[in-house]
Amino acid sequence: MLADVRQVARRELPALDPATAYALAIDLGTGGPKVALVAADGHIAAHGFATVDLLLGEGGAAEQRPAEWWDAICRSARQAMAEGGVAPENVVGVACTAQWSGTVAVGADGAAVCDALIWLDSRGASDVRALLGGPVSAMGYDVTKLARWVRLTGGVPSLSGKDPIGHIAYLRHHRPDVYHQTAVFLEPVDYLNLRLTGRARASFDSITAHWVTDNRDIGAVAYHPGLVKMAGLDPDRLPPLVPTGSVMGMLSADAAGDMGLLAGTPVATGTGDLHSAAVGSGAVGDFAAHLYIGTSSWISCHVPFKRTSPTTNVASIPSGLAGRYLVANEHETAGACLNWLLDNVLYPDDGLGAPRPDAALERLNEVAARVPAGANGVVFTPWLNGERSPVDDHTIRAGFHNMGLATTRTDLVRAAFEGVAFNSRWLLEAVEGFCKRPFGSLAFVGGGANSALWCQLHADICKRTIRQIDDPVLANVRGAGLLAHVAAGRVAVGDIPSMVRSSAVFEPNPDVAPLYDEVAAEFVELYKKTKAIHRHLNQRRLGSGSH
């Protein structure tokens, strides 16, 4: 196990007005980190952003450089501090949220041994399938193992290999040099907290996607030795656990110097992006639901129970709020579909087309708004990197369907927006079935919520009221900041909904309901009718994963 560095004492915090007591919140997304100053009254004084590279490779490789994460975070933190005009002594806490279900292999010196395997990396798929299968199987899992995982954790490792179990199995079997140099495997958010404090720890919620903790007692989550063994993990390479919503350490002198802060500032336990988005959307009450669209997407809410639906890959897991459960699910690609369309179809960097213009996403919105509902018959299935919920299928792939000689590229643009919304409707049905109740409305956050067109399409296709949250792209970083204030006792969870405002409300249009109902049914049929074809085409080529 990685030894803690010498700890810094907690600094004396000044008594400040809630409007001037800030948490420095870090949101490490796939595209790069956002860093914001979030006040105890909920307002964001300033934020910075920097991009990082996504390294895609053969066999489903998807990596990023941890050193690049840290450099981008420090630059963004200094940018936010300068633009906000906030003095370091007014930063009374630090908190991180990050892309979830990734793996950073860390050596005994606290440095990353190799590039991080992120949530898109599926190279461990064949290793996981060998590990989880058995003579009597259901959905690819040994039935005894499946029952034990669901009973204890509430979930089960994905057969796609995109969970830390798959990442670690891949490193152990295919990169033994890296595996043997590793002192501890950390989620990205826990790696950031290591950089901030010198302590390698995981929280009750951040560790969940390893699927080796007993989550039945939400206040006393702990590693389960039987699950650790069943997952093929070395317990000595797993981080110690600390309670959700606690202060896990103090900002080190080195990190403080890099970021322009004061050493000894409290650092809260980190959360995955799913967890922080729930808080940043203001949807913290039981069954208060939110929709997130960024690179990926999900529909989630807090619930008062631990439950699992293996058939739809939906489960309730430990939340970023102490003592609470949160519904977990995911669509692999949502906002990523628009960027794929821009970079690979409309403006490819291959000499065949014009360069991608400024404000390209805004232009897509304008074009799509001119095409009638139903995209003149074109249907887009947005499974560019497989799918997780409501089906766990790493070989399914995307496509434009029902095109004809009259189909135009503007039809394709509209179909891409609608296809993501049809996928949301499919997931919504699974989540509402899991919760055993319909949701009256969804708080919409993430970069996708900046699109009024997408808001209206989700209202029309999902037939639910959509509340567009103010500054939706900052929902995760807002949630992380509020969680830092909650951990310090400056904010009560019940006050959070009043701190998060809606900028617009979108109601379903009944005139398009019959058309969208028809297409939604065929959308699901397209999956059912093509899944075997995609498996045949892709299983051998992608054997150990997907790309």
Tell me the pLDDT tens digit for each residue of 83-100: 999 999 999 999 999 999
What's the confidence (pLDDT) of residue 277? 95
Helix (H) / strand (E) containing 74: helix 66-84
Say which residue the tokens 């296709």 belong to.
461
Query: Quick one: tokens of 334?
Result: 């949502």
Q: Which of 301, 306, 297 is nearest to 282 (CA)?
A: 301
Q: Which pLDDT value is given to residue 39? A: 95
Q: Which of 160, 171, 174, 165 is nearest to 122 (CA)?
A: 160
Q: How far apart are the first and last CA of the chain?
A: 33
As separate numbers, helices (DSSP H) first and strands (DSSP E) second, the chain gives 16, 28
Residues for the chain: how many in total?
Answer: 547
d(CA 454, CA 195): 37
Q: Tell me: the pLDDT tens digits for 212-246?
A: 999 999 999 999 999 999 999 999 999 999 999 99
CA distance 283 to 496: 8
Contacts of 324 (CB under 8 A, 6+ apart): 218, 302, 318
- Please list the alpha-helical segments (H only) found in 370-451: 409-435
CB–CB of 455/442 below 8 Å?
A: no
Residue 223, strand partner residues: 213
pLDDT at 1: 62
Neighbours of 296 (CB within 10 A): 24
Partner residues linked to 112 by β-bridges: 106
Q: What is the SS3 string spanning 293-340?
A: ECCCEEEEEEECCCCEECCCCEEEEECCCCCCEEEECCECCCHHHHHH
The pair of three-digit structure tokens given for residue 473, joined into one six-digit string: 């792209």
Q: How far apart are CA 178 and CA 399, in angstroms?
A: 37
Contacts of 260 (CB under 8 A, 6+ apart): 77, 78, 81, 88
- The amino acid occupying position 74 is C
Q: Residue 73's closest CA among 29, 20, 119?
A: 29
Q: Which domains are seen in the chain, by residue range?
A: 22-269 (3.30.420.40), 282-542 (3.30.420.40)
Low-confidence ranges of the chain (pLDDT < 70): 1, 5-6, 543-547
- Cβ within 8 Å of residue 430, ≥6 positions away: 309, 312, 314, 329, 389, 390
